[in-house]
Amino acid sequence: MNVFLKGKTVMITGASNGLGAEMARQVAAQGANTILTARRTDKLADLATQIQADYGVVSAYHKMDMTNFEEIEEVMQKIGDTKIDILVNCAGFGIFEEAVTTDFATVERMFDTNVLGLMRLTQLALPDMLARKSGHIINIASQAGKIATPKSSAYSATKFAVLGYSNALRMETKPSGIHVTTVNPGPIATSFFDIADKSGDYLDNVGFLVLKPEKVAAKIVAIMGKPKREINLPFLMNIISRMYQVIPRVIEFFGKGAFEKK
């Protein structure tokens, strides 16, 4: 139980399903009000209604496409004076395809969604947090931002960017009492892979490394309001990514088979 959350407001992007929706349920269960955004409002409306009925908290929702920077600005204007205590940048997508054949328009959309939209929303949320000298920004990155693997060049590049941005932001905002946390999960059993994995085999191929969204959400919710630098999951992938920083050639050589399971 995270007592910090009671009465706080948590804004979550990409909240219509998967990890985002699960976090929304869990923070609401602990007494937090929610602001939910995604491209599809039908699922958001159902989730907001469910949250208000089950937990008796306020749950607002807004259509927001992270590639549409004007829409991001409009949503923040609608939110107005509502104090955002915690911003969770969860929206994102990936495609498993070789660099040479990946459609460049898809690469641009991936960067707009995973990186530039995240940065713009964060930039708009920060002034109020800085003025209050409190707040928590949680950016959902990936183990792909720690170790790049074949068929994930563009996706890995976006997550490396998220990590770099978050690390700099953490140092900039620390004097103002704002926490910045990056979450670096391995594969999570969500609809993410409906788009990312055309073969449909990836989750089966990586087997025991697959994470459940409920457990990932619980770990994120538990650190809300706390100065946690990173959450890295699962344990084995975290160990490998740490080793990669020291002996990259060795890891690439022995990990070749695992890296090519896409």
* Catalytic center residues: 155
Orientation of helix 41-55 relative to helix 18-29, angle to 10° = 20
Give the full edge-to-edge strand order of the sheet including 59-63.
Answer: 59-63, 33-38, 9-12, 86-89, 135-140, 178-184, 230-232
Residues 6+ apart with CB under 8 A from 56: none
Residues 6+ apart with CB under 8 A from 181: 136, 137, 138, 139, 166, 223, 228, 229, 230, 231
3-state secondary structure 159-178: HHHHHHHHHHHHHHHHHHCE
